[in-house]
Amino acid sequence: MPTQTTRTPDMSVRVSSEVPNEVRKLSNFLCFAIYSANLAFGRAYKPILDKLGLTYTQYVAMVALTEQDDQTVGALGEKLFLESNTLTPILKKLESIGYIRRQRDPADERQVRVSLTPVGRALLDTEPAGSLVDATGLGEDFATVQQSVTRLRDNLLRSTQSHPGKK
Amino acid sequence: MPTQTTRTPDMSVRVSSEVPNEVRKLSNFLCFAIYSANLAFGRAYKPILDKLGLTYTQYVAMVALTEQDDQTVGALGEKLFLESNTLTPILKKLESIGYIRRQRDPADERQVRVSLTPVGRALLDTEPAGSLVDATGLGEDFATVQQSVTRLRDNLLRSTQSHPGKK
DNA sequence: CACGATTAAATCGGACACGATATAAATCAA
DNA sequence: TTGATTTATATCGTGTCCGATTTAATCGTG
């Protein structure tokens, strides 16, 4: 399942129905590396985000708004790789805290435009700068890994796009 | 917050309280690359896992059991980077489906030992082998990325360990 | 032995992520 | 213009993930 191969997992081409056990180890799964690294990031950020009173998803939503303010829910979702079912409750929460505004677009009442309030913008401007002072430990490989993982993500989404599961 | 720097994000050393906007872009965040790649993996796997009738977490739990059967909840959690609060409901679910067994260790009644049933083992043995036939698109970089992300995870967890947030 | 401390799971509540569906507005076609 | 279709959000139910707490068993020291 996790795209594994005799060569190396997560790019399998095997066809037989027997899965050799030496291959199917979690430590060989790229998906599991990503999955567990995501858990690890969440835990590393938690104490910092707690001080801001934000969850990780709330935080990245606000960062996306600093890049481009007054976006629709859909446009924001494209940047965050989330849809309105996930985003709407989060945005409502941020609105209730007073960090963002949500208002129907008068030109197209189906759309909701989201923008930072001064308070919200101020929060990010005074944001904990040197947080996680290189807890990644990646050193000079940092940029390379960042790019590779981004490419991985884009490739996966592309392939998911072309094989739209069911329906 | 997301460990970003003038150099490159997620290893910041900045001290001023003003955060320059060129730096704080989601596309520069390693944490966001990991976060979104994890979402992408989940979506790529969903159609395959749906056929197995398993969620991703259920699946990796079973894989961990094929590596080492009859583990305690705690031991399994160490391998999955999860604790009993997350694991217990998942294991109960897998038990109700009939893929695993959960039984108190007679030698230490505090512990619950988890093992695969024949049905559960059979499910993984006939598992979709060539799934995700290199949807990663990483080619020869695959192994390198896998190792880097694993190292990243371990570094993050180590640093979280030493800075235990709040009590 | 006794009883307070530690340990292993489990439980509970809050927040995401997501499939499926609903609602309402805009668009398109007859 | 009307009515069907499409589009943008929102709602709902399920399944994680996690902090905090609970329960029960074991351990440690007197």
Q: Where are the domains of chain B?
A: 26-131, 136-167
Chain B residues inside the 8 Å CB shell of A130: 12-15
- Cβ-defined contact of B44 to A156 (cutoff 8 Å): yes
At B18, phi and psi to the nearest 5?
Answer: -90, 130
CB pairs < 8 Å spanning A and B: 310
Å separating the CA of residue B94 from the C1' of nucleotide C10: 16
DSSP count for chain A of H helices, then E strands = 6, 3
- How much of chain A, in percent, has pLDDT values that exceed 90? 70
> Token match 């609105």: residue?
A95
Report pLDDT digits (tens) over B100-150: 999 999 999 999 999 999 999 999 987 765 566 688 889 899 999 999 999
- Neighbour tally for B87: CB within 10 Å: 19
- How does pLDDT run across B66-87, given as a tens digit for each residue? 999 999 999 999 999 999 999 9
Q: Is the CB of B35 under 7 A from strand D?
A: no
B102 CA: nearest nucleotide by C1': C9
Which chain B residues have a beta carbon less than 8 Å from that of A81?
Answer: 36, 39-40
Question: A26-127: what fold?
Answer: Arc Repressor Mutant, subunit A (1.10.10)
- Could you read off the pLDDT of A108-143 as tens digits, one per residue? 999 999 999 999 999 998 776 556 668 888 989 999
Confidence at A29, pLDDT banded by 50, 70, 90: very high
Nearest neighbour of B155 by CB, restricted to A67, A136, A154:
A136
Of A18, A63, A160, nearest to B24 by CB-CB distance is A63
Are residues A155 and B135, on separate chains, in Cβ contact within 8 Å?
A: yes
Class of domain B26-131: mainly alpha
pLDDT of residue A71: 97
Q: Which helix (H) or strand (E) holds A105?
A: strand A100-105
Instruction: Choose among B13, B17, B9: nearest CA to A126.
Output: B17
Query: Do the Cβ atoms of A40 and B14 come within 8 Å?
Result: no
Q: How confident is the model at residue A83 (pLDDT cuts 50, 70, 90)?
A: very high
Helix axes A30-52, B30-52, angle to 10 degrees: 130
CA distance B159 to B133: 35
Q: Where are the beta strands (DSSP E) in chain B?
A: 71-72, 100-105, 108-116
Question: What does pLDDT average to over chain B?
Answer: 86
> Rounded to an integer, what distance in angstroms lies between the CA atom of residue B60 and that of residue B106?
27
**Using the beta-carbon criterion (under 8 Å), do A33 and B67 form an inter-chain contact?**
no
- Over residues B89-93, the mean pLDDT reads 98
- Chain centre to alpha carbon of residue B83: 12
* Beta-ladder partners of A71: A114
* pLDDT score of B164: 60
Question: Under 8 Å CB-to-CB from B89, ≥6 apart: which residues?
Answer: none
Of all residues in chain B, the percent with pLDDT exceeding 90 is: 70
- ipTM attached to this prediction: 0.91
Q: Is the pLDDT of residue B91 over 50?
A: yes
Q: Can you give the pLDDT at residue B161?
A: 80
DSSP string over A38-57? HHHHHHHHHHHHHHHT--HH
